[in-house]
Amino acid sequence: MNFAALPARAAAAPGLARWGRHLTAQVLVDAGDQAVILAIRDGMLVSAGPAPSLMPRFDLALRFAPDGLVRFLANPPPPGWHDLMALMRHGALRVEGDLQPFMAHLFWFKGLFALLREDAA
């Protein structure tokens, strides 16, 4: 799970920024032993760094069950674990906080996390 490479990978993904052209948010990704802040401006992923242990600031949080995220990141992923909404169905992803940026830009979030899978391959 290489979050550090994600901004460059997102910038190179065709169409991704267009799906998120009005998306500006700070997003906490909590995956058990790893917590990352995604800083997003107008659909561009500006940074993806470790979340501060003290008083992290974010608009919404994506909290993954670690084993669910491992299955999601498999390439190819097993049926039923291949999409963010599939993880929600299993209870392996909880989205908390202001849901509007997430739902209004769902193609962007799905596209971004699929890029993380390519890193894991």
Residues interacting with other proteins, by CB under 8 A?
Answer: 19, 76-77, 79-80, 82-86, 88-89, 99-100, 103-104, 106-107, 110
Of 41 and 110, CB closest to other proteins: 110
Shortest Cβ 74–other proteins spacing (Å): 11
Shortest Cβ 68–other proteins spacing (Å): 12
Count Cβ atoms below 10 Å from residue 65 Cβ, excluding itself: 17
Cα atoms in the Cβ-side hemisphere of radius 13 Å centred on 70: 6
Of 13 and 35, CB closest to other proteins: 13
Shortest Cβ 89–other proteins spacing (Å): 4
**Cα radius of gyration rounded to whole Å, the chain:** 13
Contact 37, 58 (CB under 8 A): yes
Map residue 29 onto helix, strand or coil.
Answer: strand
Spatial strand order of the sheet with 60-64 comes to: 44-50, 35-41, 25-30, 60-64, 93-97
Place of tokens 């997430």: 102
Of 3 and 113, CB closest to other proteins: 113
Of 5 and 74, CB closest to other proteins: 74
Shortest Cβ 5–other proteins spacing (Å): 22
